[in-house]
Amino acid sequence: MSEVTKEVQDKDRAQVERTRSTNVYTPDVDILEKDDSIIVLADIPGVSESGVDITLEKDVLSIFAKVEPEVPEKHQLLRTEYGIGDYQRSFTISNEIDREKIDATVKNGVLRLVLPKAKAVQTRKITVQAG
């Protein structure tokens, strides 16, 4: 790992101070580009829509998803085969995104963020006419 990459990662870790004692995972994402928007799909299993907090500050879009572990009443957890914890990830977005129209939905453990492109940067077809 290069020193520059390591330094950036260390700075990112230093910005977050946790107040809950739980594991924090970086969710896997798929990023798709369409003519009019960028779609971000993030895997956040175990999170309801009320547990998701998305903020946009300056050029940084931050996702924080809080998981509330479910153990049925009068039961005791004997074994787990996967880690349970919160999710956190940040992205730097450009001025090409229309910040007022960002939309987010959660369904079946997948967060879907739609980042619409600003009208000025959308691809458009130019008609060629005979001269």
Secondary structure class of 89 (helix, strand, coil)? strand
pLDDT at position 20 over 80:
no
CB atoms within 10 A of CB 91: 16
CATH number of this structure's domain 24-70+83-121: 2.60.40.790
Distinct helix (H) and strand (E) counts, the chain:
1, 8
Interval 61-65 mean pLDDT? 96
Q: Where are the domains of the chain?
A: 24-70+83-121
The predicted model scores a pTM of 0.73
CB contact at 8 A, 47 and 24: no
- Top-confidence residue, 9 or 23: 23
Return the pLDDT at 68.
83
- Top-confidence residue, 76 or 116: 116
Mean pLDDT of the chain: 83
pLDDT at position 18 over 60:
no
Return the pLDDT at 6.
43
Among 2, 112, 98, smallest CA distance to 65 is for 112
pLDDT tens digits, one per residue of 33-51:
998 999 999 999 989 889 9
